[in-house]
Chains A and B, each alone.
Chain A
């Protein structure tokens, strides 16, 4: 028994060490671009979160590295290094998933709930290449490991209410941890009506309802081998998207995996994890709740992914090695049926994603070399083969309207290289990294057929002849800590070649009624994205601390146009009071005037804003039962505002009182 515990702890530590610069971070002053947001050892961290039951979107938004792009109150799209879905890889425990919506209404993060996860690992740029090829980086939503503590049954329940939007949440979690068997089942249900922006302005079509179920079981075969099976079922219905012309009547995902784990500290290969997985996503857009539309339409989409990975860690002297061999096969299909107002005319039909199959297989090798006590050097390489196939003849023929010469398959080789130097000396911590990476165009960029983007009001046509997008990147980070004071500076720069972006094609006629025109995905010769963050903290006493952060971002293409969705000057100041049984935090957050907006890509000037939040937390025990109560006020001054990341300038929530109660039965 003791052995097992020691072993488990050892394994956990080991895992933690592998994630560089691990810090338990949930507060917004964390500006590590390469960071791990540890939600908790167990899923709902009652001590650390401002809101026990906040969504995964809320969690991610607390990281400065990530901005959430909002089309409503649900399914926010994460952006990392000012880059969104197409340039990021978002994975769940190393598993590839691809949203089934052509209009990015279902980022992968919307198909998991915080109750499913152990932590979120955010890796900037090519440091995120372990799970796949991306330019901006990787967000890996990590599922907890099976725990063989022998601690028996543990149950916890959570209830939450927020006044704004009459938002109700309920969660239940049951965990059994034996010596050789582990089981965890949890469910969470969320329902919100329309929320109010500042000054009690109701935002229509901002409601949502969802539930999420997760079941995890683990068997420990012997000291070295264990098996895990995991299943997540997530279903959202009646989701409003105030910023878009359509809502969603169904967003459903089934995510399953089976894995085998091998651990042996004494062998050359210390750990070997092999996972087989399958996931299927169905997404149905719906306009039946909108009273006035120019034309009624159905837009369902499906995405199925089969995949595997096998990763091993090994240690030779001062080298710590990580190998990852992975592959997946994805099928993306989306269609659109439009019903003419003149009922004598037949329905109009097209494939917006004409059954695109993506096959990928690649290897990743990373070597962390400890030069000496203070210095480490990390090098990583990923090589992969990527193939797209248009499986439907009608899909191929419809794209041949635009590209008569294309064939049904397209093969690519993808490369990623990165290196990182880290120096720790006394109060200083310095790191410098360089990287080169490539990515294949996304299904929409390569094969989308008249995808309407309400942001720039253009129909978008994919381009199967696109080259790989390539990026050179560098980043630097300096931290200084002296006594109770700390200050850090962090900056990264991306020089992107063959930057994929929609190009206006004046000769094409838009399909969508009211659209300004048609953009065809094309490559700009180059684009640059730069960001810099400065953060500082001061611990006034053991209970009281203050922190602040400033950020600046910049993005421009070689066509002299500003890139879209680049964060303006941002700031955050926070005052925290923490004791074991009580915590309080006052937060001021804001953005400067977005003067460098991109009119060319459909942006307008977003005015400056600032909001004030207050959060409080109390912990108390009644016999063996623990109660955690989190409460507070968001947007205390009921400011009416929107940010650069709010699609079509939809106002954010006004004043909101919230309370979460968690009960833990041991």
Chain B
């Protein structure tokens, strides 16, 4: 009862997403790594070293680099975006609810949805990939890191969706250009990359020896992740406070 405002806001965001076609695409995307893991497992033929490399590759190249940011982008930009587009945002904003509560609820809701899509997929991929291989903590470590990454990306993309009408494009540019191209070329940009935070957290949690996933040490990653999450949230709250709904909206 005490949190019925948050529950109502969150449920609205989740229902909005589930009712859209975006949710189907998210599920299709989430199925890809599981299918690939099954294929690779069949090919690896029982070599534990090869199986570990395969699963690390799937995780690093597909799940964290592509699926996580894309699903988070789709979900994160829709928690406000869909309502702004059809004008129903007035029903949420025309309430005596402090704006920070609305923003926090929506970021958490987006993070939960993103994690709900990716966690089962990551877990299944890891479990299939390391079947018969001694890899303590791998499945859990990968999955926990993806869950953390879900919330980080969502905080960023929710802030983005309140800052620009072209949030989807801006988000893609961040993921592809900044995290993809630049952090391979310039090491410095890794300190501002959610992908690197996620990989670094996974690294720290997995005890098995693997090809190093991240080149960012975990302490830096955790501190930077917290900074990015807080800055994005604060920015989103400030944007929502002065969010204008004109005749066009």
Are chains A and B native binding partners rather than an unrelated pairing?
Answer: no
Q: Which residues of A contact B (CB under 8 A)?
A: none
Q: Which residues of B contact A (CB under 8 A)?
A: none
